[in-house]
């Protein structure tokens, strides 16, 4: 088998609405037109809405796609499982809703010659987002800077991040160890702290990070709860700060 250049990891938890919109077809259509070998890994995070069966039917006709099934660990656990399973020289994780379309990876890949990690950034262009989401984003930026101190990154939360394979294996192995492999949860969990902690650890380990502006369009999600998510975000930031002060990241 020829060497895989790009692995695309897509976490999936009860994503039938997006799947029926043809998001996997869109991803496949774009990747098939590229001049490199690729794989797409859908990590099912314990779905119970028929998502698993849908993806399994899709991959029967698409050999570059495969599915990993895990118990319900939340997005952080699903992304981690997919990233560590990837075989590509570069590994991208992206959201199933394709708010940042897969085509944007073309804008990230050129920077891999000089950087270990290239992340998508929505900057101020958050088309269609309600004021509550914009307020949450602004608040997160301020609190992240004050509490954690991630330097030089405007948008830590965009779900479109590209890693060199060795950097990905190193970082996600450490994240998995830190969280003891993650534990089973109930309900949806898209915690802001995952991306912040990942990038904080990457900076601490000396990896070179490049932020690149990408297209992004707001996609309505039932899983966003402004009050609940904001409280959890603050808790996550405090946890990261306490881990840093206690030297927990130094022992990974």
- pLDDT of 187-243, one tens digit each? 665 567 899 999 999 999 999 999 999 998 867 655 556 667 777 878 888 898 899
The domains located in the chain, with CATH, are 6-251 (3.90.550.10)
**Section 129-145 average pLDDT:** 59
Place of tokens 């949450």: 136
The answer, yes or no, to whether residue 131 has pLDDT greater than 50, is no
Lowest mean pLDDT among 95-99, 151-155, 190-194, 231-235: 190-194
Q: Which burial class, exposed, middle or buried, applies to 82 when counting CB atoms under 10 A from its CB (0-12, 13-18, 19+)?
A: buried
The pTM score is: 0.89
Contact assessment for residue 187 and residue 92, using Cβ atoms and an 8 Å cutoff:
no
Percent of the chain with pLDDT over 70: 82
Instruction: Give yes or no for residue 114 having a pLDDT over 60.
Output: yes
């Amino acid at each position: 088998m020829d060497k895989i250049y790009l692995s695309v990891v897509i976490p999936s938890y009860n994503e039938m609405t997006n799947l029926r919109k043809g998001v996997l077809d869109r991803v496949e259509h774009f990747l098939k037109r590229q001049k490199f070998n690729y794989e797409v890994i859908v990590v099912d995070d314990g779905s119970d809405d028929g998502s698993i069966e849908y993806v399994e039917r899709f991959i029967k006709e698409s050999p570059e796609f495969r599915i990993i099934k895990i118990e319900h660990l939340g997005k952080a656990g699903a992304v981690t499982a997919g990233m560590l399973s990837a075989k590509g020289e570069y590994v991208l994780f992206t959201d199933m809703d394709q708010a940042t379309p897969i085509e944007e990876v073309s804008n990230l890949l050129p920077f891999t010659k000089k950087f270990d990690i290239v992340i998508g950034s929505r900057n101020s262009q958050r088309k269609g987002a309600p004021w509550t989401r914009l307020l949450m984003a602004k608040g997160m930026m301020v609190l992240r800077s004050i509490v954690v101190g991630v330097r030089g990154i405007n948008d830590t939360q965009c779900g479109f991040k590209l890693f060199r394979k060795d950097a990905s294996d190193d970082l996600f192995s450490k994240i998995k160890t830190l969280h003891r492999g993650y534990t089973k949860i109930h309900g949806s969990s898209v915690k802001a702290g995952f991306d912040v902690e990942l990038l904080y650890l990457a900076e601490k380990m000396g990896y070179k990070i490049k932020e690149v502006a990408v297209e992004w369009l707001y996609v309505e999600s039932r899983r966003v709860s402004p009050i609940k998510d904001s409280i959890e975000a603050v808790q996550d930031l405090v946890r990261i700060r306490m881990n840093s002060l206690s030297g927990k990241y130094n022992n990974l």
